[in-house]
Amino acid sequence: MKLIIRNLARSTTEEELKALFQEYGTVQSCDLVLDKTTGGSKGFAFVEMPKPGEAKVAMKNLNNLTVAGNKIRVKKAENKTE
């Protein structure tokens, strides 16, 4: 299950995010979205967890959690159909 994490502090790293989600299960991938110009974080990321049950527990427990001074929002990523 792919999750989108919004409202991340610009200082939050991919490693920190991955560690946060690994407390709830296996993390298949963690992609912090970076600004192409500055190379800095855009404030959101995608985390993929292979087991939907673990992803749901992570979503429930981490949504509205304060990380590095920001209250993060975690929800299921919608598949973009183009």
CATH code for the domain of 23: 3.30.70.330
Give the residue numbers spanning the domain of 13.
2-65
Q: Which residues contact 81 (CB under 8 A, 6 or more apart)?
A: none
CA–CA separation, 76 and 36 (whole Å):
25
CA–CA separation, 80 and 51 (whole Å):
21
Number of domains in the chain: 1
pLDDT at 45: 97
pLDDT at 79: 74
Q: Does residue 70 form part of some domain?
A: no
With a cut of 70, say whether residue 82 has pLDDT above it. Answer: no
pLDDT mean across residues, the chain: 95
Q: Does residue 15 form part of some domain?
A: yes
Q: Does residue 81 form part of some domain?
A: no
pLDDT at 75: 97
Q: What is the pLDDT of residues 15-47, one digit of tens each?
A: 999 999 999 999 999 999 999 999 999 999 999
